[in-house]
């Protein structure tokens, strides 16, 4: 087998793995995707761009599929589900809209509650009991 042929097989395998990972993420219920999204705002997430107040969607998407080198071809399919997951995190008080950056993109960052939930591993519990929902009597 020539190295060139092996390289094509490797690329095809990476592309298939990336597609499978994107499809797995898309198929997740929104709360499960939100739980997978929250670590993007933690210490292992990408750094915020200089001069911007947090992370924007185009930083979050590649981080979410960072283990799949060929995933960039499939990112557009993830945008809507990720937006929905981010909305759940915002509604639970774990993430907030941090404003717009130089490019007019919306930036988000973890709240103090979000940082605590991430460090304690309680993100899912907060999604089940949003911070801004009325108390049940």
> How many CB atoms sit inside 10 A of residue 66's CB?
12
* Gap between the Cα atoms of 114 and 96, Å rounded: 9
- 135: in domain: no
Quote the number of domains for the chain: 1
- 136: in domain: no
- 56: in domain: yes
User: Is 80 exceeded by the pLDDT of residue 50?
Assistant: no
- 8: in domain: yes
Residue 107, H or E segment: strand 106-110
Residue 117 half-sphere exposure toward CB, CA atoms < 13 A: 27
Stronger pLDDT, 111 or 9, i.e. the higher one: 111
User: Is 90 exceeded by the pLDDT of residue 17?
Assistant: no
- Measured CA angle at 130 (ends 127, 132), to 5 deg: 155
- 133: in domain: no
User: Is 70 exceeded by the pLDDT of residue 2?
Assistant: no
* Domain extent for 120: 3-128
pLDDT value, residue 85: 96
Enter the pTM of the model: 0.82
Residue 88: CATH number of its domain: 1.10.10
Question: For all residues of the chain together, what is the average pLDDT?
Answer: 84
pLDDT in tens, 67-106: 877 677 778 889 999 999 999 999 999 999 987 766 667 8
* 85 touches 29 (CB < 8 A): no
- 36: in domain: yes
Tell me what the mean pLDDT of segment 32-39 comes to: 96
Highest mean pLDDT out of 51-65, 78-92, 103-117: 78-92
């Amino acid at each position: 087998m020539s190295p060139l042929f092996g390289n094509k097989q490797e690329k095809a395998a990476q592309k298939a793995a990336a597609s499978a990972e994107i499809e797995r993420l898309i198929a997740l219920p929104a709360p499960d995707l939100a739980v997978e999204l929250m670590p993007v705002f933690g210490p292992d997430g990408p750094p915020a761009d200089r001069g911007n107040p947090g992370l924007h969607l185009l930083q979050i998407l590649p981080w979410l599929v960072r283990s799949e080198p060929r995933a960039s071809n499939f990112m557009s399919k993830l945008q809507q589900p990720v937006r929905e997951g981010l909305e759940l995190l915002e509604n639970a008080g774990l993430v907030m809209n941090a404003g717009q950056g130089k490019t007019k993109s919306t930036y988000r960052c973890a709240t103090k509650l979000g940082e605590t939930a991430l460090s304690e591993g309680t993100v899912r519990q907060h999604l089940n009991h949003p911070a801004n929902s009325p108390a049940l009597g």
